[in-house]
Structure 1
């Protein structure tokens, strides 16, 4: 039997991780399917008994989401409206069993192009807290995921938290995904959108697209085109393919061709923005 470690403190876990060959396990919702076997191979570091790694709490200028915080924890948490898109994503991450076991940090470390949490976290300007035995560092999520199944983690490091700047949690947000069916499906395309509105005009915009490119992308050109414009039904008309598609580098795979993904991403962004503007109108009324 392969060695199995289940430490109760972060320091103990990092000490074990300093050795070679350990596989970190949390929710295991992606880890087990990836093995292609009936059991995990090699030494396992189970981090689920480390209480300090789970939970959601304010910390200085950030809201801290511990590494083993689950999707179900997100659904139960009292969070600002800017997090609504992440809550929407949590409702659609697999079955209830997956939502109860799967972790937010596992979702980003798995680095799948179709990871539901990544566009939402990008639209919240998330940073990733990474620890090793001798140091801690923070990396913007956009720099953390470097490719398909690839991250910026170095040997001996693990993700300990996802940090959301409080200044980026304002406004209203929306998450929409497109798949072959409504539930229990890998997305063809997904979008996360967050708008802040002041005096009837867009004061801040964050738009991100997942499952289209090898890595989820923000849309800086389209965001810039929305800022300063009136937050009314006409805002959807400012969503332009020429401001979105060049930032995507869409992929071809068995689920969809690149051209289809490009069109789907534009349409989903339009729907998300339309929903947000309609919501702003209801609040104003």
Structure 2
């Protein structure tokens, strides 16, 4: 017999998860397409009644994004400029109707290589809070998303929050698709820079849709640190190693095209994150 449950507290939800196997239903924007025409055979745990898991909260040293927080919530919430890339990515998650119901945690748990929210969270050093009846643990985002549709979730666990250490700097997100709206990305990039006295003192760069999971680019970050925040940043990106990437060829683009295109969109994200240069703003085209 298939069970359906809609708990109203986190403790109740975790107790149910501890009893057996459940498929968790949040926004449903990935849940139902993945089901397709197949009959339901799994118990369904609907967490849309867990109001405590929706919202963005601030502690002394973190921003805490509840697991049921939607992309519209991200767009509307006043956040520092380091979150600009995440806000820009939020506007790319399907249509406004999708953004109104799709959850941030669901985007991570779906673990698609093309998940729009992951690069923007990677450059913020986000970690995932996993809760069960036994314990609560925290994993860095790279330790949580293990591969295409694979995460580190253990039986009996659910994501309850995403935690972001209070970040500095400004960030930007650039997505390349076959059309402007409602598209799965060919490649996407997020960059966060801290610029002090005209010099890049901190750089975080991540790319999605060019490997099984979105990746931080250590070689690019190293190439940017210590440089003047001017147009030379684009040249640094073009010549930096991107060994973390292993793009595939599919209907949206060849591997060769992706690797060429990603250098351009990383450069655009970096220049935008760097902010005004010589009295003007360098903007992503």
- Superposition TM-score, scaled by structure 2 size: 0.94
> Residues 278 and 82 (structure 1 numbering): CA distance in 2 closer, same or farther, change over 3 Å?
closer
> Residues 153 and 239 (structure 1 numbering): CA distance in 2 closer, same or farther, change over 3 Å?
same
CA distance in 1, matches of 2:178, 2:20: 41
Deviation at 1:66, TM superposition (A): 0.3
CA distance in 2, matches of 1:40, 1:280: 56
Superposition map of 1:166-205 within 5 A: 166=166, 169-205=167-203
**Contact 1:67 1:162 survives alignment (8 Å):** yes
Query: Is it true that 1:52 corresponds to 2:52 in the alignment?
Result: yes
Deviation at 1:41, TM superposition (A): 4.0
Between Structure 1 and Structure 2, the one with more helix by share is 1
Query: Is it true that 1:92 corresponds to 2:92 in the alignment?
Result: yes
**Contact 2:223 2:240 survives alignment (8 Å):** no
> Residues 238 and 2 (structure 1 numbering): CA distance in 2 closer, same or farther, change over 3 Å?
same
TM-superposition CA deviations, 1:225-268 (whole Å, max 9, x none): 11111011222111135412x12122222222211111111110
CA distance in 2, matches of 1:113, 1:178: 14
Deviation at 1:39, TM superposition (A): 6.7
Match of 1:262 among 256, 259, 277: 259
Structure 1 gaps, min length 5: none
Deviation at 1:279, TM superposition (A): 3.2
Matched positions, count: 281
Structure 2 gaps, min length 5: none
**Contact 1:23 1:45 survives alignment (8 Å):** yes
- Superposition TM-score, scaled by structure 1 size: 0.94
After superposition, the CA RMSD in angstroms is: 1.6
Bigger drift between 235-244 and 9-18 goes to 235-244
Look up the match of 1:230: 228
> Residues 232 and 242 (structure 1 numbering): CA distance in 2 closer, same or farther, change over 3 Å?
closer
> Residues 91 and 200 (structure 1 numbering): CA distance in 2 closer, same or farther, change over 3 Å?
same
